[in-house]
Amino acid sequence: MKFFLDTANLRDIEEAASWGVLAGVTTNPSLYAREGGRLADFHAHIQRICEICDGPVSAETVGLVRDEIVREGVELAALAPNVVVKVPVMPEGLAATRTLAEKGIDVNMTLCFTVPQALLAARAGARYVSPFVGRFDDISEDGLEHLGNMVVALNNYDFGHPVEVITASVRHNQHVVAAALMGADIATVPFGVLEKLVKHPLTDRGLEAFLADWEKVKNA
């Protein structure tokens, strides 16, 4: 499994990149707004993320009709070679994804909640499909069950191009564990979740014991 960071916070991206585990970044309008971002600075912000992370960086379009989505997607893709254009799953988004894919631009189809949506996204040419797990949990449905169904369905077919599943809307460690066991290719997580993934109380306890014993060695 590859780990992406789901954020627009530059400091968090820099820290995750320093660990040597960051394979990509996903952003969206809400995450950028959370950082106090301004429209005039958006392109420069995406370019800075692409400088920090050399993996795929998803930047989302906001147009609602295919021509607008394509125009925005072409502009975003021109910002850096590792930009992936993020497009919502909807009829106009599917049409735009086909056009962008024909132009050689990688697309991440987002807000995916059903098997048919995932299959249609892949068939339209999406390089990545992003099922949202946590948002199902918010309405008392099993988001992991939906994710597993999408992973199985996508693996049943050859779409003529690589398609990777990005587990999105990740809220806690168990989302990541279950997604990995299902064979999801990627988990995109908030920095707080990434921090928790590396921690365990037994690890902390073992480290404390090792250091205490080493002090005995030094003082012997």
Catalytic residue list: 86
What length is written for the chain? 220
With tokens 């992003």, the residue in question is 130
Using CA atoms, how far apart are residues 216 and 212, in angstroms rounded to an integer?
7
- Torsion sign across C-alpha atoms 143, 147, 153, 154: positive
Using CA atoms, how far apart are residues 108 and 144, in angstroms rounded to an integer?
20
Using CA atoms, how far apart are residues 142 and 135, in angstroms rounded to an integer?
10
Q: What is the per-residue burial (b if ≥16 Cβ within 10 Å, else e) of 172-202?
A: eeebbebbeebebbbbbbbbebbeebeeeee
What letter represents residue 29's amino acid?
A: P
Contact 106, 128 (CB under 8 A): yes
